[in-house]
Amino acid sequence: MIQFKKVSKSFGTIKALEEVSFEVGKGEFVYITGPSGAGKTTLLKLILREYQPDSGEIVLEGVDITKLSDEQIPEYRQKIGVVFQDFKVLPERTVRENVEVSLAVIGVAQEAWSARVGQVLKLVGLAERADLFPNQLSGGEIQRVSLARALVVNPKIILADEPTGNLDWETADSMMELFEKINKEGKTIIMATHNKVIVDKFKKRVIKLKGGKNVGKEKVHELEKEPKKEENEKGEGKMKVKVEEV
């Protein structure tokens, strides 16, 4: 689904990424790991087309997104939902209104907002908080608002930049379980994190960055310390995340 082909990006004399190559398949859940300054956020912003690489190709569903014109970028970004560490919710708007903003941006007819927003707020457990403001919510609830806002546009890909970084462990654990349910419904998730506890518990494929370089990949089974439970959990407690098409 996504391919990085020898992608490099510098800011002045600082090499944020240097000839990074990897692939992420449709429906995968992949961690991008590495210490602060490794290039994780830069990588996500390249996928979002906030940055252009200095060299290399970034291919999404067969299209080299580095060649998209400025006019094509808004439509391209409708395929992507983003969840940030610092939430980026609007403090003067209610939970419902924060989620509606995403629909307004992509031009969804207003009469369709209520059903779509209601669906994703129920999914993330905020249906009863719809009319509250961010300052009336916990940190975990605010992060769920951010996730709902990403999901309401029915993206193909979720980019998550340290989404548990400002949360306590119990809340972070709950958020990761929600990400897993979303992934099981077919969403591709690329999550930047340096939280080893998260990576060890919620075992996924890992792409490691260090100093802007891809220093190796680990398959899921290489991270596991015990045999993986069989697929008996698949299909149990699934939550429907696909929303009505625009």
- Per-residue pLDDT of 75-91, as tens digits, reads 899 899 999 877 688 99
CA distances from 226 to 20, 219, 223, 232 (A): 31, 14, 9, 16
Q: State mean pLDDT over 25-32.
A: 96
pLDDT at 36 over 50: yes
Mean local confidence (pLDDT), 15-22 = 96
Both tokens of 99, joined, read 């989620």
Alpha-carbon distance of 1 to 25, in angstroms, equals 5
Q: Report the pLDDT value the prediction gives residue 164, as an integer from 0 to 100.
A: 87
As to burial, measured by CB atoms within 10 angstroms (0-12 exposed, 13-18 middle, 19+ buried), residue 135 is exposed
Local confidence band at 217 (pLDDT 50, 70, 90 cut-offs)? low
The domain made up of 2-91+155-233 is a member of CATH 3.40.1180.10: no
What share of the chain has pLDDT > 70, as a percent? Answer: 87
Contact 1, 61 (CB under 8 A): yes
pLDDT tens track for 118-161:
999 998 999 999 999 999 999 889 989 999 999 998 899 999 99
Number of residues assigned to the chain: 246
Helices 139-151 and 169-184: angle between axes, nearest 10 degrees: 20
List 3's β-bridge partners, or say none. Answer: 23, 59
* Extents of the domains making up the chain: 2-91+155-233
Span 215-227, average pLDDT: 51
At 44-67, the pLDDT tens digits run 999 999 999 999 999 999 999 999
